[in-house]
Amino acid sequence: MTAERSPFPGPRPESAAVRTEGREVSAPGDVPRDNRAPDLETEWSRAVKAIGEAAEICLACHIRPDGDALGSMLAVAQALRVRGAADRPPGSAPPRVIASFGELPLRIPRILRFLPGTDLLTPPDAVPGRPQVMMTFDAASADRLGMLEANAARAGELIVLDHHVSNTSFGTVNLIDPAAAATAVLAHELIGRLGVPVSRDIALGLYAGLVTDTGSFRYSNTSPGVHLLAARLLETGIDPGGVAHELWDRAPFGFLGLLSAVLGRAQLEPAGPGRCGLVWTTVTRADRAAHGLPFEAAESVIDVLRRTDEADVAVVLKEDDDGLWQVSARAKGAADVGRACVALGGGGHPKAAGFTAVGPAADVMAALRQQLAAP
């Protein structure tokens, strides 16, 4: 599970040996926080207390993790290991930190293998069944934890760290802030509150989350606070060009063939009365097999489709290896794909959301169209 190759050559601090001087460390406390509900303050205190007292902390991010889910979790995993080494009285054991996500085999998407700490991941069947303290990342509901949903249900304390407005507050401590551009913003705040300096390795995970969920600072969730946080993270010495290359600027040659096929059959449905313009396509298992590509190769297709001027909504139906449609939807303008996807059993944000479906693609699209047209 180690990186195939790293775009970040050169020495990296070990997880337990963060340097505290020079450019290696940023100060988490000096990034302004966005406005938020005052009762979140109580939740922060409860989270910090539970983490401080725990002998064992299990971390889980949502299945089919993206840069925000995995990056935030690995950043916190590394911070907890540093804290464990530093804060305990001499002779006492540091807390056990276990990080995972609920899929077997535990397959890290190729574009995320550059993240420091992936080698520390534990397969979900080795995660304690009743964790003393469990923390979830970027998961809007318990079912997004896959195999680890049952572990979360039995955890002594369940801390939910997330920024989805659709979050079901399934934790005993809910650190949910829909104003946060990414879970990474909340992970950064947690690390600051735990008093752990942000090393370059920690910053890389947080930065991956921030750029993933803001589309490299292009989406409307890009605030001054986002840029300030990015600046702090870059001060640790991470290479933004290297991160962008890993996340978006590389693909095997077969991807060109896949893109050609799936874009070639994209359909544009013009806006009618009470409807928004819609563009959609499918990426089937057969498409991927024809070009020898894994499921994750389908993930970036939506970024091309959503450029379509004539469409307010873009949708890609991606067939996974089990034959299920993993649907990605994006909106610009007034359409709220988050609401539509929640109604279809999924989740997400008003402008970026998804759901899982079975059956003919035309039927899935009909159901989605109906939800988009609902008052």
Binding site for ligand AMP (CB under 6 A): 66, 140, 144, 164, 328, 346-349, 352-356
- In the complex with ligand AMP, which residue's Cβ is closer, 199 or 212? 212
SS3 string, 142-184, reads HHHHHHHHHHHHHCCEEEEEECCCCCCCCCCEEEECCCCCCHH
Longest dimension (CA), the chain: 71
Q: How far is the CB of 5 from ligand AMP (least distance, A)?
A: 25
The SS3 call for residue 343 is helix
Residue for token digits 């990426």? 283
Q: How far is the CB of 273 from Mn ion (least distance, A)?
A: 35
- In the complex with ligand AMP, which residue's Cβ is closer, 232 or 369? 369
Task: Return d(Cα 105, Cα 108) in angstroms, integer.
Answer: 9
- In the complex with ligand AMP, which residue's Cβ is closer, 15 or 282? 282
Task: Return d(Cα 19, Cα 33) in angstroms, integer.
Answer: 25
In this structure, are residues 335 and 300 in contact, taking their beta carbons and an 8 Å threshold?
no
Examine residue 157 and tell whether it contacts Mn ion (CB under 5 A).
no
346 binds, among Mn ion, ligand AMP, none (CB under 5 to 8 A by kind): ligand AMP
Picking from 202, 215, 191, 100, the residue whose alpha carbon sits closest to that of residue 152 is: 100
Q: How far is the CB of 139 from Mn ion (least distance, A)?
A: 8
Among 24, 68, 177, 201, binds Mn ion (CB under 5 A): 68
68 binds, among Mn ion, ligand AMP, none (CB under 5 to 8 A by kind): Mn ion
Examine residue 162 and tell whether it contacts Mn ion (CB under 5 A).
no
In the shown chain, the binding pattern of residues 196 to 215 toward Mn ion, with x for contact by CB under 5 A and - for none, equals: -----------------x--
Examine residue 177 and tell whether it contacts Mn ion (CB under 5 A).
no
Among 43, 66, 246, 319, binds Mn ion (CB under 5 A): 66
Among 69, 112, 202, 238, binds Mn ion (CB under 5 A): 69
Examine residue 61 and tell whether it contacts Mn ion (CB under 5 A).
no
Q: How many CA atoms lie within 13 A of 160 on its CB side?
A: 26
Task: Return d(Cα 235, Cα 26) in angstroms, integer.
Answer: 7
Q: How far is the CB of 49 from Mn ion (least distance, A)?
A: 25
For helices 67-87 and 183-193, the axis angle rounded to 10 degrees is 10
Provide the binding-site residues for Mn ion, judged by CB under 5 A.
Answer: 66, 68-69, 138, 182-183, 213
